[in-house]
Each structure stands twice: as C-alpha cells, then as structure tokens.
Amino acid sequence: MTQSRTHNCNELRLENAGEKVTLVGWFENIRRVSKNLGFVILRDFYGTTQLVPETEEMMNAFLELNTETTISVEGTVRERSNKNNKIATGDIEVVPEKVTVLGRCRYAELPFEINRSKEADENTRLKYRYLDLRNPAVKSKIVLRSKIVAELRKSMTDHDFLEITTPILTASSPEGARDYLVPSRNYPGKFYALPQAPQQFKQILMTAGFDRYFQIAPCFRDEDARADRSPGEFYQLDMEMAFASQEDVFAVIEDVLPPIFEKYGTYSVASKAPFVRIPFTEAMEKYGSDKPDLRIKLIVEDVTGLMADCGFEPFAGNEVKAVKISDFTCTRKQIDAMCDEVFVTTANKAFWFRLDENGELVGGISKFLQERKEKVIETMGLKPGDFVALSAGKKLTALKTAGVIRKVFGSKIDHCIDRERYEFCWIVDFPMYEIGEESGEIEFCHNPFSMPQGGLSALENEDPLTILAYQYDLVCNGVELSSGAVRNHDPEIMVKAFEIVGLGENDVKAKFPAMYNAFCYGAPPHAGIAPGVDRMIMLLTGDETIREIIPFPMNKGAQDLMMGSPSQVSEQQLADVHIQIVMPKEEAAEE
C-alpha cells in the first residue's frame, strides 16, 4: 500500500491478473468505443495504466470528467487482449468498479496538450509550468537532475569533502556581475546582497581550518539570460581544498565527473583522467576560443603572411586566419548558410575558397589567389576536395571569428566531429591582467583572488600583461563548466595585485574585510573550483536550453510568469525597509 493506493500506474504486471487494486492519478484521456465500452489512460508520477470501463455507468463516470482531473480507481486487473509492448504495463488492463474524484480539473480546455507541451510557446509553458511538468518527457529531466545531484553529493563525500552551507544574505562584493540587493529593515539605508558565489566564505573556511569543503551552492547574479545561463539564480558544485595545488583540484574533478557523465549522459563515453591541459594562449591560437570543443577535429591556422597582400581588401593590414576542411562536399547554399551563421554570431564575415578535383582554386575569394596558387596549395598542404574558410581583422577579432567558423562548420560536417562523447579539457595559464575594452585601463583578466605565477616577485618585476595566473577553466564539448584557481592567500601579494589595477591596501580592506583579516591570521595555500550544475545537466540531457532542466525557470526576460515575479509590493512594505521608488522619467510619463 502506497499513499492510498495498492500500486502505482507503472507497477502492475501479468502476475497481478485477478487482483483487486486501487490506483490514483490523472485522467489523461478516453477513447470511447460504445456507450458502455471505452479505453481510459490513467497517469501518475511513475507511468500509465489502461482502464477499460465496461458498463454504461462506468463510462458516464469518466465522460463527466475533464481531462487532468485527479481520481482514485478501484477495479480488477486482467490480461490485455491487445498487448502494448511500448509501456511497462502493456500486458494488463484494469476493469474499474468505482471512480472517486480527488481533485477536479475545472477547465474543459487546457493551454496545451500535456504530452505535447514542448511544442507550445515557451512563455505559455512557463506560465503553466505545473502542467508542463506533468509531461513525462519534461518530468524525466527533473528526475534525472535529482539523481545527478545525489550522485555528486555522494562522490564528494566519498572523497572526504565536508558539505557546509554558507549564507544567502551577505554583503555586496565586486565579483563581476550585478548583485541582487535586499534592503535592511533594522538598518535604514543599508543592504544585504544575495551571493554571486560563496567565494569569500569558502576561502574563509579554509582559513578556519576546514580541509575539504563542498556544497551544491545557489548563486545569484542580476544578468541577462542565454541558452546556457539562467537569469537570476543558478547552482554550482562549489568546492575548495586547503594545502592544495592546481593538480590536486584537477585530480578530484577528473575522478568525480567522468563516471557521472558515463552513467547519466546522452553519450556513454567520457574523457578519462588526466584531461588534456591547454594553455590559454594556445587555445586561442589553435582553436580560436578559450572553450574549444575538442570533438571537432579542425584547427585554426595563421595565414597572414600568405594572404594579407593578395589584393583582397578585407585582408589588407589585418591578420588572416584559416580553417581547412578535407573531403568537403557541401553545396553553395550550405556554405552560404554557415557563413551567415558565423556573421550573426560574430558580426564579422567568413570568406572561403576551395581546391577542386582538377587542382584549381575556385569559389569565394579564389580570384584573388590565382597568381599565388601554387604557393597557397603548397604552404597550406591542400589536396583536391579541400575547403578553406577564412577570417580577417585585428588579432583577437580574427581568432574569435575563426573559432566560430571552426565550431559552425565542424559541428555540421559529420566527418569533422566525433559527436557521441564527452570531451573534457582544462584551459590553464590565463593572463593575470588585461587592458579593459571599455576602460582602456589595466584590469584583472579573470579572478582577482587568484595567485599570480611567480608570486610577489612577478608582480614587482614583470610587465603585468605578461604575468600568468594559476587560473583554470573546465570545458566540456565547447561548454565552459567552471572556472577555478589557486587562491591568493597572502595579504602582501593580494595588496600588490590590487595596486596594479589602481586599488590600494585600504581599498582591499574595505572591499574584502573579512577575508583580508582572516588571511592576516595565517592562511593555508588553497585552491578550488565550482562546476555549474545546471550546465552540467544540460550537457548530460543533450538539451539546447538550460530552462529545460530547471524545475521552475525564469524566462529570457528574467520573469517568473507562473508566480508573477518580479511584482509590485505595498507602500507599507516599502516603508518598513525605508525604500522610496523613483521611476525612470519615460516610465513615469507613460503611467
């Protein structure tokens, strides 16, 4: 007996024939054969069972119900004459003798058909998420999420990590994104902030003497949505290790993740330890990206010296990068479509030419290369049937565009990619500093809490733009799962690192008082990482959007359409926290 039922809707088998049973669930549909015979599908969390009412009374009991009404059914199990091998209960059916309404659906029409909810408009799905989640295909993703999170917890515990929760209400901290602020009732004019990550707390735990920490941590950032990023909140497998190096962190992740990917993933093959390590500069030069999809066999080549003076104006004075594809059979229409996709992604054009079976350069920009045909063929090692896509611009622009070319073309041409596997890599040796695109000033490139390679000596004696950091990204199939670092645990080194970006010791103390003071009491070297749980599960399920694997996601505009959030609050609530709303002029005028 389970929750007022003898069996669930995925449990009955042929050996139960003749038994009196009670089932509960949602009335999914009815197919009427005659006035006293029909076929009813009853669905619960576990599956479906066919009911066969055989009296006019029983038929009327079902016909009076709207679909999605919750009911209790008492009846007798029997063997089906027309078995259905597509479902677990396909050998049996239940002849109902009593039907009790438990929760009536009061709407004759639903916003969408439950089993086809994924075909509905996304905002409609999110508004009626409780109906969307009744779709077994949608529900299964949330069930899988629960299993994966449980497996992550078990694996981390097996690796002697201690699960510790950190505060949700904390102080605002400059960590790269906008904070969500919470006004204080007891301290007028002051605010809590929801944590963008437990970064400072986990480092303080290391200083407090906890050797291995982890949690499935909620993080809050006021940023725009993307296909692989949910606005508002997300979860990460947050971990930190004391007296640890970069390699110690790598060893744990390389032991924890591959078995989970192999067990739960769409693909059953995942990289084994050790994962490939690729320096940041090499990744950009070779793949045009710091999150390369290593399943794609293509690489980026520098052909500036070969192409820049060929007379093609976009190449003049610019760096030129090339991606060579062998055995290329795509049509001109397909080439144009892929080039258009590159332009939409980068706002930069992709150019191309090919070497035909007669050894001639044809198509695209080939007319500019005829005078140097032999040199192009020899230098690039071209063979008949080869296709070359090119990008041009300042170095970073040319590289990033080439990276998108590699991804777009490589993912669409079967022989260029080994799709059915999870290919991990570490991107390492990130620059400590960079020149900000907007400010034009020197800024931290990645994580201000990272330890510079070379320590204090490097900060004092080297050009900041040449200093590398002990920072690393975990990448899988072209998706950045996580950033991590060996932390800067020395107050003297920390102050010097911030001085280079124009912040003095007083600024460090003011912005990070707890962590700075904790480090002054003797901090251990420590390192950590925080793989994104949502992105990880999206990769495992093979979904294109992260919203498919979150129980109650916001839409692209950071709205919860089901709950009506964000929402207005009363004047009294605002007064309690000493807040007065001043609307933007254009919005105030509209009202």
Last residue of a domain, one of 103, 131, 157: 103
Domain range spanning residue 68? 14-103
Can you give the pLDDT at residue 33? 87
Quick check: 99 and 73 in contact, CB under 8 A? yes
Last residue of a domain, one of 357, 384, 417: 417
Residue 114: closest CA among 140, 136, 142, 90: 136
Is 77 inside any structural domain? yes
Which residues on adjacent β-strands are paired with residue 182?
Answer: 192
Residues 493-533 pLDDT 10s: 999 999 999 999 998 898 889 999 999 999 999 999 999 99
DSSP state of 309: T
CATH number, residue 309: 3.30.1360.30
Q: Is the pLDDT of residue 223 over 90?
A: no
Residues 302-313 pLDDT 10s: 999 999 999 999
Is 30 inside any structural domain? yes
Last residue of a domain, one of 380, 402, 417: 417
First to last CA, the chain: 58
Q: Is the pLDDT of residue 438 over 70?
A: yes
Residue 235: closest CA among 266, 205, 197: 197
Is 112 inside any structural domain? no
Cα(393)–Cα(401) distance, integer angstroms:
9
- Predicted confidence band at 176 (pLDDT cuts at 50, 70, 90)? low
Which residues on adjacent β-strands are paired with residue 7?
Answer: none
User: What are all long-range contacts of 192-198, with beta carbons under 8 Å and residues at least 24 apart?
Assistant: 193/169, 194/168, 194/169, 194/170, 194/220, 195/166, 195/167, 195/168, 195/170, 195/219, 195/220, 196/220, 196/221, 197/236, 197/238, 197/530, 198/166, 198/238
Is 548 inside any structural domain? no
Residues 245-283 pLDDT 10s: 999 999 999 999 999 999 999 999 999 999 999 999 999
Cα(524)–Cα(211) distance, integer angstroms:
10
The three-state secondary structure class of 414 is helix
Cα(193)–Cα(169) distance, integer angstroms:
6
As a residue count, the chain comes to 591
CATH number, residue 58: 2.40.50.140
Cα(239)–Cα(155) distance, integer angstroms:
12
DSSP state of 161: P
Can you give the pLDDT at residue 231? 81
Predicted TM-score of the model (pTM):
0.90
One-character DSSP codes across 166-191: --SSB----SSSBPEEEE-SSSTT-E
Residues 14-33 pLDDT 10s: 999 999 999 999 999 999 98
Residue 125: closest CA among 557, 564, 566, 562: 562
Can you give the pLDDT at residue 591? 52
Residues 384-415 pLDDT 10s: 999 999 999 999 999 999 999 999 999 999 99
**Number of domains forming the structure of the chain:** 2
Residues 286-296 pLDDT 10s: 999 999 999 99
Cα(555)–Cα(26) distance, integer angstroms:
28
Q: 86-100 burial, b if ≥16 CB within 10 A, otherwise e?
A: eebbbbbbbebeebe
